[in-house]
């Protein structure tokens, strides 16, 4: 297999976690005899600082010509603290999603038994959670017409959806459900929103093509409560852009750390990224959790129809967690560096790390196992 991958390191901790994901990809390539070609490009605050554009043309061109895009993180405080800024890092990401028609954002949420003590939920509620959220990504209120009165006294954001947008994400979610537990929960606000009523109508029509799938409906406010009260009831959650943004962030904390969760955005191309932000306070300190980015690479392997490679990455991640090889967000006292975790996972994939290891033999800052 030969694939070209556009690598957008982004801002803050983005370059650090992306470096470890690329290290893992190189380990996978060596073991399974693949060839991955990496084209590094700019986006976000780093791109604004260098070119004045949050999404330079070279980056967009590379993305169109690649087989997949790997993204670190986007955002910087100097823009976050200035809501009046006309050019912002997030504009690059939104434009990239639109240009590549990345209509489906896929966020798996899984809990690990070794980290159950970190979850804000009781152990009985967070045990064996395994769900995936399908969020529509290119429509809705984020992309609707925005208006602000000249005197600044009134503003509006238009939420628009059409049948084809809803159908595309729905078919993707139902296909996923068929490979899982054959259950979908549509989250909407159909009691008050016309767009949500259209979602229900279209999703019900799509469901006729999947008679084996059990389709349920929840209002978004109830869904937010149910994610905390009984998250194990969910398998595939299907929802619109803004609801999906909020609910997937809520679900992400169930496992105990934002740094653990990957995501994929699928359309004309496919983009893979961790769900966490750029966390600029940790930039350059080698303490960021790279697992969300590395697990995003596992999703990339599935996209490339390489399930064995994807499982090898996931096995390596579970091995690090089981043996206590974790970053500072998980264990503030006995933690390992970002680069150490990446090296350990790459070594495990290459069969250079033993299944059972004494963690005292792995020194802080290096992955050499004595």
- 235 labelled catalytic: no
Identify the active-site residue in 82, 221, 285, 363.
Answer: 221
* Residue owning tokens 């896929």: 106
Q: Which residues contact 228 (CB under 8 A, 6 or more apart)?
A: 121, 125, 250
Question: DSSP secondary-structure letter at 74?
Answer: -
Write phi, then psi, for 117 (nearest 5 degrees). Answer: -70, -15
Token pair, residue 180, equals 């899982």
Nearest to 227 by CA among 350, 339, 366, 120: 120
- 305 labelled catalytic: no
* Residue owning tokens 């004494």: 358
Q: Which domains does the chain have, with CATH numbers?
A: 1-107+256-370 (3.40.718.10), 120-254 (3.40.718.10)
Which H or E run includes 336?
Answer: none
- 245 labelled catalytic: yes
Which pLDDT tens digits describe the chain residue by residue (370 residues)? 999 999 999 999 999 999 999 999 999 999 999 999 999 999 999 999 999 999 999 999 999 999 999 999 999 888 876 666 788 999 999 899 989 999 999 999 999 988 888 899 988 888 889 999 999 999 999 989 999 999 999 999 999 999 999 999 999 999 999 999 999 999 999 999 999 999 999 999 999 999 999 999 999 999 999 999 999 999 999 999 999 999 998 998 898 888 899 999 999 999 999 999 999 999 999 999 999 999 999 999 999 999 999 999 999 999 999 999 999 999 999 999 999 999 999 999 998 666 666 656 665 544 444 3
Determine the Cα–Cα distance for residues 342 and 111; give it in Å rounded to an integer.
20
Give the SS3 label for residue 222: helix
Q: Determine the pLDDT at residue 353.
A: 64
Q: In the chain, what is the greatest distance between 2 CA atoms, to the nearest angstrom?
A: 68
Strand partners, 299: none
Token pair, residue 243, equals 């609801």
Q: Determine the pLDDT at residue 80.
A: 73
Identify the active-site residue in 189, 232, 322, 331.
Answer: 189
Q: Please say whether the beta carbons of 185 and 219 come within 8 A.
A: no
Write phi, then psi, for 257 (nearest 5 degrees). Answer: -160, 130
Q: Determine the pLDDT at residue 369.
A: 42
- 150 labelled catalytic: no
Identify the active-site residue in 32, 40, 142, 219.
Answer: 142
Q: Please say whether the beta carbons of 271 and 293 come within 8 A.
A: no
Beta-strand pair 104-110/68-73: unpaired
Identify the active-site residue in 80, 157, 249, 286.
Answer: 249
Determine the Cα–Cα distance for residues 8 and 59; give it in Å rounded to an integer.
8
Q: What's the Cα-to-Cα distance from 339 to each of 17, 277, 287, 313, rounded to whole Å?
A: 8, 19, 8, 16
Determine the Cα–Cα distance for residues 288 and 239; give it in Å rounded to an integer.
30
Identify the active-site residue in 245, 269, 303, 348.
Answer: 245
- 79 labelled catalytic: no
Beta-strand pair 104-110/262-266: antiparallel
């Amino acid at each position: 297999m030969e694939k070209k991958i556009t690598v957008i390191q982004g801002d803050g901790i983005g370059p650090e976690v992306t470096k470890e994901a690329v290290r893992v990809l190189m380990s996978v390539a060596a073991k399974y005899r693949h060839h991955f070609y990496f084209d590094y490009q700019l986006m976000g605050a780093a791109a604004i600082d260098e070119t004045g554009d949050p999404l330079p043309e070279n980056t967009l061109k590379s993305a169109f010509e690649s087989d997949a895009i790997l993204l670190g993180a986007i955002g910087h405080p100097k823009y976050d603290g200035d809501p009046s800024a006309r050019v912002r890092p997030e504009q690059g990401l939104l434009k990239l999603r639109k240009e590549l028609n990345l209509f489906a954002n896929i966020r798996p949420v899984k809990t690990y038994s070794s980290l159950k003590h970190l979850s804000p939920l009781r152990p009985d509620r967070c045990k064996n959670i395994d769900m995936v959220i399908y969020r529509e990504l290119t429509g809705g209120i984020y992309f609707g017409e925005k208006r602000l009165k000249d005197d600044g006294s009134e503003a509006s954001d238009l939420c628009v959806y059409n049948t084809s947008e809803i159908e595309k994400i729905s078919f993707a979610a139902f296909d996923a459900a068929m490979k899982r537990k054959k259950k979908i929960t549509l989250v909407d606000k159909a009691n008050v929103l016309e767009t949500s009523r259209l979602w229900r109508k279209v999703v019900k029509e799509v469901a006729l093509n999947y008679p084996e799938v059990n389709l349920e409906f929840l209002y978004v406010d109830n869904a937010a409560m149910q994610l905390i009260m009984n998250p194990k009831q969910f398998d595939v959650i299907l929802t619109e852009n803004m609801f999906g943004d909020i609910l997937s962030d809520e679900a992400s904390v169930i496992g105990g750390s934002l740094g653990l969760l990957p995501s994929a955005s699928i359309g004309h191309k496919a983009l893979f990224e961790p769900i966490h932000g750029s966390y600029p306070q940790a930039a350059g300190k080698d303490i960021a959790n790279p697992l969300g980015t590395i697990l995003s690479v596992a999703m990339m392997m599935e996209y490339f129809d390489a399930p064995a490679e994807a499982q090898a990455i996931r096995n390596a991640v579970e091995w690090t967690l089981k043996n206590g090889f974790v970053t500072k967000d998980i264990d503030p006292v006995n933690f390992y560096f970002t680069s150490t975790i990446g090296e350990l996972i790459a070594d495990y994939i290459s069969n250079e790390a033993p299944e059972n290891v004494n963690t005292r033999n792995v020194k802080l800052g290096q992955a050499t196992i004595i």
